């Protein structure tokens, strides 16, 4: 079983923020904490591209490497999780992360910056799987229910894919082979059938 | 709103209407006899019922929870109002009642069945609650591209899905027993009428100015027994074709002297469609010239409020209508007055409005949702960089949008090239701020939306479509200045 | 001279030891049960896999990913 991974297909992302809303709703994430966000380049200009970003669950996680209290751990599926009871809210993981995944709530035990919160790949945390304590601290544990992360399952265009790295890259490869790249991705032929099959 | 005698707001959310009613205006305007009622309505999760989508298909929604607090479903509210006014027995004579939190509520299935019994013309008759519920429980039998079911039977009721289009999109003709599959694409002559096919309707008469309006020979839907044009179905036509005796005795009793729209048995539709493959609304030519509209072919007409008086002279608007849907409606008078008053000089920018992804409609429900509200926290106006530079406005500045109505909207500026130099754009989902002031204090406690903003329609002006009387909210004029 | 060489060599090796990748396996909470052990809440658990069985869980997720995220599999060509 390969590691759990996200892939966001920038050709399909339409910046609907469905993934963001799904994550917020599923885990009741408070205002100001953005586990997932959609980044748009060239907004309003032809050639605009969007991509959905959250914790990438790195194989060699910088957050894990720099944490002074070692609150991070990695599950067998490669999901990077952390223990909020150990976290001191220093913010070092936030410096280290190239994606800006660690988030800090506006109010918290430490006043200005509370415990770190981030995308859990919908795998909860160290608390008992599916318990209320786990939900309060980390959100819902969908993997333990046999489901995939809410953001990818909710994606309106299937731009965001999540799951076993092998499975996800297989799906993506199939998609790219089918649709081509560059100018071939969009157009009448792609939407209504290839030019060869086009009748009238 | 202060002058009203009665205002009733029926909504799950109190809405800006309620806040505006509570907001004090000029003391001399306030009607001392004014009564304002806020009736909390139940949301779609607190009741069941059918729901029609914009692709014409219907779905059956199940109830998830009982109505919260004091909210009641819309049909319960209507029933209770009818009770107070004394005609509840007539209104609900075809409905059974069910108890919801101790109160009587018309059973939603019965309401749909009443619609099924009489809305023949647009084909809202075949979508019985039973068929819809079976569809909802068996979505997997429908092909993902065509939405057609190739087979399958519902486990509980044994209903056979073969041939049905998901949601039985209207028109779904005839009684539910006739099992019309719904119409996925309108007027599709490549399909048989019992497969959702059709032809163009004969709604405009048989002939006009000597020209035949019905379809010509050879133009008909697949497999139709009549291979030329024919008018709308009525008992005379059915008898002339010799198909009258295919009706059962009961159907004959109901159909005698009637047409397909008033035949309560649905028998004429059954014989015409199922037995002979013909369409009950007739087979005629489509028309490109709509002779009963003010403009038979669309003409360009400048809006009442515009920035180009020269174009208004060249493409003037309609003449005033003395009685349009029983109301006097002005066109030319308003446009001429605007030209005379040089409105375009005071308000040189075209204002239009549109949608955001995060919010829906008036925004009362979606702006109350914290996840969505966080994504769009400010009402704003899109301004072209040149227009902004001319006014000393930078991206993110607060600006006053001055409407031709006299309104002043305080919004944030988004400087972008998405609009051109002469146009500005505002989203229409916001409300809850009035001329720069937050209306939070006027909402019922705890029921205000998370995000409040200026409502663009405070600045949109008079104007109505010449056929539908749709309000002109998409083009008016304004000016912007730095706040 | 040799002593200094050996000493510096040993120090260098020890210092370089810090550059190698630290193992990042399951470190702190040994109490976090693997996801395949389920939540114990039957009503929210997706049917189609056996609790505790890694292979059936992985297969269930694979099927779910292909059903929900792979439109090329479901749509006719």
Nearest chain A Cα distance for residue B20, angstroms: 28
For residues B17 and B455, the answer to whether their CB atoms sit within 8 Å is: no
**Which pLDDT score, from 0 to 100, does residue C26 have?**
45
Mean pLDDT (chain B, rounded): 95
Please tell me if residue A141 touches chain C, with a CB cutoff of 8 Å. Answer: yes
Please tell me if residue A15 touches chain B, with a CB cutoff of 8 Å. Answer: yes
Say how many C-beta atoms besides its own lie within 10 A of residue B14's C-beta. Answer: 21
**Which pLDDT score, from 0 to 100, does residue A198 have?**
41
pLDDT band at B316 (very low <50, low <70, confident <90, very high): very high
Sorted by sequence, the CB contacts under 8 Å of residue C43 that are 6+ apart come out as none
pLDDT, tens digit, 9 for 90 and up, residues C3-61:
787 777 666 666 555 555 555 544 456 677 888 888 888 888 999 899 989 999 999 99
Q: Which residue in the block uniquely carries the two structure tokens 């894990």?
A: A64
> What percentage of chain B reaches a pLDDT higher than 90?
94
Closest by Cα among A138, A64, A132 to C26 = A64
Nearest chain C Cα distance for residue B98, angstroms: 29
pLDDT, tens digit, 9 for 90 and up, residues B48-80:
999 999 999 999 999 999 999 999 999 999 999
Looking at chain C, which residue has its C-alpha nearest residue B143? C75
C26 vs A contacts (CB less than 8 Å): 73-76
Distance CA B129, CA A166 (A): 44
Please tell me if residue B157 touches chain A, with a CB cutoff of 8 Å. Answer: no
For residues B422 and B439, the answer to whether their CB atoms sit within 8 Å is: no
Contacts of B324-331 spanning 24+ positions with Cβ under 8 A: B324/B464, B324/B469, B325/B469, B329/B464, B329/B469, B330/B462, B331/B304, B331/B466
Please tell me if residue B140 touches chain C, with a CB cutoff of 8 Å. Answer: no
A21 and B372 in contact by Cβ < 8 A?
A: yes
Averages of pLDDT over each 10 residues, chain A, 200 residues: 89 94 95 94 86 95 95 93 92 95 75 82 92 92 95 95 95 86 64 49
For residues B71 and B40, the answer to whether their CB atoms sit within 8 Å is: yes
**Which pLDDT score, from 0 to 100, does residue A108 have?**
52
Looking at chain B, which residue has its C-alpha nearest residue C73? B144
Nearest chain C Cα distance for residue B149, angstroms: 14
Nearest to A21 among B371, B416, B417 (CB): B371
Paired tokens of A44: 């309003």
Distance CA A120, CA A122 (A): 5
Please tell me if residue B359 touches chain A, with a CB cutoff of 8 Å. Answer: no
A130 and C38 in contact by Cβ < 8 A?
A: yes
Delimit the CATH 2.40.40.20 region(s) of chain B. 309-482
Domain segments of chain A: what residues?
A: 4-184
Report the run of H or E that residue B374 belongs to, with start and end. Answer: helix B370-375
For residues A76 and C34, the answer to whether their CB atoms sit within 8 Å is: yes
**Which pLDDT score, from 0 to 100, does residue C74 have?**
73
CATH label, A4-184, candidates 1.10.3720.10, 3.90.550.10, 3.40.50.300, 3.30.70.20: 3.30.70.20
Which among A21, A32, A139 is the top mutation candidate for probing chain B, defined by the most B β-carbons within 10 Å of its own β-carbon?
A21
Paired tokens of B132: 């819809």
Please tell me if residue A146 touches chain C, with a CB cutoff of 8 Å. Answer: yes
Nearest to B371 among A24, A44, A45 (CB): A24
C41 and A163 in contact by Cβ < 8 A?
A: no
Please tell me if residue C26 touches chain B, with a CB cutoff of 8 Å. Answer: no
Distance CA B282, CA A18 (A): 45
Paired tokens of B295: 């403009």
Looking at chain C, which residue has its C-alpha nearest residue B140? C74
Beta strands B380-383 and B408-415 are parallel
> What percentage of chain C reaches a pLDDT higher than 90?
19
ipTM: 0.88
Fold of domain B309-482:
Barwin-like endoglucanases (2.40.40)
Count of A-B CB contacts under 8 Å: 21
pLDDT, tens digit, 9 for 90 and up, residues B381-432:
999 999 999 999 999 999 999 999 999 999 999 999 999 999 999 999 999 9
């Amino acid at each position: 079983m390969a590691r759990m991974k996200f892939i966001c297909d920038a050709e399909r992302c339409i910046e609907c923020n469905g993934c963001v809303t799904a994550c917020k709703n599923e885990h009741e994430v408070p205002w100001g904490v953005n586990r997932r966000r959609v980044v748009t380049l060239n907004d309003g200009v032809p050639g605009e591209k969007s991509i959905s970003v959250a914790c990438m669950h790195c194989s060699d996680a910088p957050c894990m490497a720099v944490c002074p209290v070692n609150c991070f751990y990695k599950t067998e599926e490669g999901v990077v999780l952390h223990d909020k009871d150990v976290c001191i809210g220093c913010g070092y993981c936030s410096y280290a992360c190239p994606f800006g995944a660690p988030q800090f709530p506006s109010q918290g035990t430490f006043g200005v910056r509370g415990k770190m919160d981030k995308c859990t790949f919908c795998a909860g945390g160290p608390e008992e799987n599916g318990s209320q304590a786990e939900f309060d601290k980390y959100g819902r544990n969908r993997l333990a229910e046999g489901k995939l992360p809410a953001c990818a399952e909710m994606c309106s265009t299937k731009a965001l894919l999540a799951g076993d790295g092998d499975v996800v890259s297989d799906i993506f490869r199939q998609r790219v082979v089918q649709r081509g790249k560059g100018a071939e991705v969009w157009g009448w032929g792609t939407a209504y059938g290839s030019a060869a099959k086009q009748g009238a | 709103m202060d002058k009203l005698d009665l205002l009733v707001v029926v909504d799950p959310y109190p809405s800006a209407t309620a806040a505006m009613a509570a907001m004090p205006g000029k003391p001399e305007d306030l009607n001392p006899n004014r009564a304002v009622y806020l009736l909390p309505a139940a949301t779609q999760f607190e009741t069941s019922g059918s729901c029609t989508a914009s692709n014409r298909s219907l779905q059956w929604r199940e109830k998830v929870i009982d109505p919260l607090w004091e909210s009641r479903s819309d049909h319960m509210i209507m029933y209770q109002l009818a009770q107070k006014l004394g005609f509840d027995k007539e209104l609900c004579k075809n409905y059974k009642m069910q108890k919801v939190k101790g109160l009587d509520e018309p059973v939603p299935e019965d309401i749909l069945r009443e619609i099924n019994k009489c809305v023949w013309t647009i084909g809202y008759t075949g979508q019985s609650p039973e068929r819809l519920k079976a569809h909802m429980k068996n979505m997997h039998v429908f092909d993902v591209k065509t939405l057609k079911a190739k087979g399958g039977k519902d486990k509980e009721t044994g209903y056979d899905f073969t041939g049905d289009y998901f949601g039985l999109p209207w028109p779904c003709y005839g009684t539910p027993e006739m099992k019309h599959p719904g119409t996925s694409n309108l007027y599709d002559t490549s399909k048989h009428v019992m497969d959702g096919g059709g032809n163009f309707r004969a709604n405009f008469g048989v002939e006009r100015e000597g020209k035949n309006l019905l379809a010509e020979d050879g133009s008909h839907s697949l497999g139709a027994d009549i291979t030329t044009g024919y008018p709308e179905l009525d008992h005379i036509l059915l008898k002339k074709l010799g198909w009258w005796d295919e009706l059962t005795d009961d159907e004959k009793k109901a159909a005698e002297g009637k047409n397909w729209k008033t035949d309560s048995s649905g028998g004429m539709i059954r014989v015409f469609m199922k037995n002979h493959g013909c369409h009950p609304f007739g087979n005629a030519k489509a028309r490109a010239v709509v002779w009963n509209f003010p403009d038979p072919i669309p003409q360009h007409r400048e809006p009442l409020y515009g920035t180009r008086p020269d174009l208004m002279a060249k493409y003037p608007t309609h003449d005033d209508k003395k009685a349009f849907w029983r109301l006097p409606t002005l066109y030319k008078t308003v446009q001429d007055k605007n030209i005379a008053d040089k409105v375009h000089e005071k308000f040189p920018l075209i204002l239009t409005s549109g949608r955001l992804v995060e919010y829906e409609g008036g925004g009362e429900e979606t702006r109350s949702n914290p996840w969505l509200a966080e994504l769009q926290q400010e009402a704003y106006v899109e301004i072209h960089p040149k227009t902004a530079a001319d006014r000393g406005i930078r991206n993110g500045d607060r600006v006053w949008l001055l409407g031709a109505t006299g309104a002043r909207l305080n919004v944030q500026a988004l400087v972008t090239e998405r609009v051109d130099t002469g146009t500005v754009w505002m989203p229409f989902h916001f409300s809850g701020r009035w001329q720069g002031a937050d209306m939070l204090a006027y909402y019922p406690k705890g029921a205000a939306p998370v995000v409040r903003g200026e409502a663009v329609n405070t600045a949109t002006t008079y104007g109505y479509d010449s056929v539908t009387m749709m309000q002109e909210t998409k083009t008016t004029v304004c000016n912007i200045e730095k706040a | 001279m040799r002593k200094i060489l050996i000493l510096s060599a040993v120090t260098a090796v020890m210092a370089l030891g810090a550059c190698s990748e630290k193992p990042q396996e399951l470190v702190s909470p040994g109490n976090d049960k693997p996801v395949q052990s389920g939540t114990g809440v039957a009503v929210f658990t997706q049917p189609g896999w056996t609790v505790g069985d890694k292979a059936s869980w992985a297969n269930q997720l694979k099927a779910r990913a292909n059903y929900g995220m792979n439109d090329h599999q479901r749509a006719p060509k």
